[in-house]
Chain A
């Protein structure tokens, strides 16, 4: 139940986040609401206001339904694998369903815009601000800002490798890798297009500066988050639950900071462009499908600024853009398959067999063969020692992969933690902790002993 509560607790905030982000789209920023650009005349029109009001209502009901569904799913008395599958399907729904009222509203607003003649009528055009493009890169916050988080995130790697925990060290290496990646994303701030809303150059400069600053801040904070994450991982390797809770708290703080940054930028965009859209204004609605997917074959860029806020998207007219979007969609839609896989793992039996040449521990697709001639010592354990996972599977029905134990050091494990006894087998290179899910490890141990004694007796003579 704790695992389930942590699972849901770590994601339930997705619903209010989607609600507030999408609801915020109904406020005009840069003359755009719900992905449709309208002039001042259209922004205050009663029909527009009615459409936006309906959108907010529909969005509210959709999100409430998702929360009610979550409450039901949390309480369902099903196995962890099935609960995970249902949770992942719900997560997919959280991403997809709130977008439906958005698309409906976008289409209705576009129809109203056409009907009232509020569009500029220009299609296949691009607007570029010469003066903004001529601005030199801002050097106020240099790349040196990333050196400290990089060092802080790399120290635990050095520490873990120093202790001889090679696998832990390699896992921790992901964190400085992320800091380096974030630095590249930070650099990309200088290659973002200027935020042209109308022919007011001062407004363009202000909006561009604000967005670039928010973008840089976002990646610098991300770098520090990875540095703290690295230390949390190092310090809680022995206490997985405490580690998980700390990482969730850290992630929640990071998400809150990022969401705060996004809303602050949106508020500024709204405030600064409140009076825009009276004479000339930029209208690129023809390039945005449903107001959210960018498609412009005339644009050579792949990475595109979202029109509102801090976000980024890809140009679907570019082949790489199509591949990236398809990969994200596939990842999202195939996510529940992970739950199905866990269900399979959960139901597969853990077996322990003794052949003429090896002791074989197997579970689902995993198979560990311990050659008899390599076995130096075997011991039957009536109680499972305290072990912690380094890399592998830890479920109610099976523990497998690379683990660590205070008493026996690094272990390769394949057992059902519910059913003892368990076999501790030592070879020259590896220590194995294995067991049979049907409780026959004792019989296997007796047969193994007999085989080992038969093998060692002649050598002893």
Chain B
């Protein structure tokens, strides 16, 4: 799986790493139990600071997408067993839906767009 980091974007790099890993897990590019690179290895690979990668990994662990394993390093968590969406995700979704409404989309158009994006891989 390729990470595309955009240094000209307003989105912080750690957030871009976090978002793309989440999309990778959701799209099946990163399978449960799959080992991710160490913080140092990913920093070397992408050319960003180790602190940036570390922050992204911390966030993903807090959110339950990754876990640290003493022998395997950082691995993707199993998808099953996770509860509903996080409060922050719901908040962001609400804002996004409001933005779609303000952009002139009605309910059907907004749901169709959401459905298309849901089925699409690598939508970030």
Which residues from chain A sit less than 8 Å from chain B, CB to CB?
122-134, 191, 193-194, 196, 199, 201, 296, 298-301
Q: Across the interface, which residues of B come within 8 angstroms of A122, CB to CB?
A: 6
Q: Which B-chain residue is minimally distant from A282 (CB atoms)?
A: B2
B59 within 8 A of A: no
Contacts of B49 in A (CB 8 A): 300
Q: For residue A199, which residue of chain B has the nearest CB?
A: B2
Q: Which of B7, B36, B43, B45 contacts A194 (CB 8 A)?
A: B45
In the assembly, what is the distance between CA of A134 and CA of B34, in Å?
10
* Contact in complex: B35, A128 (CB < 8 Å): no
Give a binary string over B27-38; 1 marks a CB under 8 Å from any A CB, 0 the rest.
000100001110
Report which of A128, A132, A300, A301 forms a contact with B5, defined as CB distance below 8 A.
A128
Distance from B4 Cβ to chain A, minimum over Cβ atoms (Å)? 6
Minimum Cβ distance to chain A for residue B51 (Å): 10
A301 near B7 with CB under 8 A, answer no
Judged by DSSP, the binding face of A is loop
User: Do residues B42 and A128 form an inter-chain contact, with CB atoms below 8 A?
Assistant: yes
List, in ascending order, chain A residues with CB within 8 A of B42's CB.
128, 130, 133
Alpha-carbon gap, A126 to B7, bound state (A): 8
Tally of A-B Cβ pairs under 8 angstroms: 71
- Across-interface contacts of B35 in A (CB, < 8 A): 134
Instruction: Say yes or no: A130-B30 contact (C-beta < 8 A), given A123-B8, A199-B2.
Output: yes
Q: Which of A124, A130, A201, A301 contacts B3 (CB 8 A)?
A: A130
Does B47 contact A300, Cβ atoms closer than 8 Å? Answer: yes
Contact of B7 among A125, A131, A132, A134 (CB under 8 A): A125
Query: Can you list, as one digit per residue, whether each of B1-28 has a CB less than 8 Å from chain A (1) or not (0)?
Result: 1111111100000000000010010000
CB–CB B37/A126 < 8 A: no
Supplied contacts A127-B4, A128-B5, 7 more A-B pairs, CB within 8 Å: A124-B6, A126-B47, A127-B3, A128-B3, A130-B30, A134-B37, A301-B47
Q: Report chain B residues within 8 Å CB of A134.
A: 35-37, 41
- Give every chain A residue within 8 A of B120 (Cβ-Cβ): none
A284 to B3, CA, bound (A): 15
Instruction: Tell me whether A128 and B6 are in contact (CB under 8 A).
Output: no
Q: Which residues of A contact B21 (CB under 8 A)?
A: 130
The interface on chain B, measured as residues whose beta carbon lies within 8 A of the other chain's beta carbons, has a size of 23
A124 CB contact (under 8 Å) in B8, B41, B44: B8
Residues of A within 8 A of B36 (CB): 130, 134
* B90 at interface by CB-CB < 8 Å: no
- Among B47-75, those with CB < 8 Å from A are 47-49
Asked if B46 is an interface residue, CB under 8 A from chain A, the answer is yes
Partner of A127 from the list B2, B8, B44 (CB cut-off 8 Å) is: B2
Closest partner residue, chain B, to A196 (CB atom): B2
Q: Are A296 and B47 in contact (CB under 8 A)?
A: yes
Cβ contact within 8 Å between A130 and B1: yes
Q: Do residues A125 and B4 form an inter-chain contact, with CB atoms below 8 A? A: yes
Asked if B2 contacts A126 (CB within 8 A), the reply is no
Contact A126:B41 (CB < 8 A) given known A134-B36, A199-B2:
no
A422 to chain B, nearest CB (A): 62
Contacts of A129 in B (CB 8 A): 1-3, 45
Most buried by B among A131, A194, A196: A131
Report the minimum CB–CB distance from A258 to chain B (whole Å).
25
Tell me the nearest residue of chain B to A129, going by C-beta: B2
Give the shortest distance, in Å, between B30 (CB) and chain A (any CB): 7
Q: Which of B7, B21, B42 has the most CB of A within 10 A?
A: B7
Give chain A nearest CB distance to B56 CB in angstroms. 12
- Output the nearest chain A residue to B46 by Cβ-Cβ distance: A128
A201 vs B6: C-alpha distance in the bound complex, in angstroms? Answer: 21
Query: Please, could you name 30 A-B residue pairs with CB atoms under 8 Å apart, sorted by A?
Result: A122-B6, A123-B8, A124-B6, A124-B7, A124-B8, A125-B5, A125-B6, A125-B7, A126-B4, A126-B7, A127-B2, A127-B4, A127-B5, A128-B3, A128-B47, A129-B1, A129-B3, A130-B21, A130-B37, A133-B37, A133-B41, A134-B35, A134-B41, A193-B44, A194-B45, A196-B2, A201-B1, A298-B7, A298-B47, A301-B44
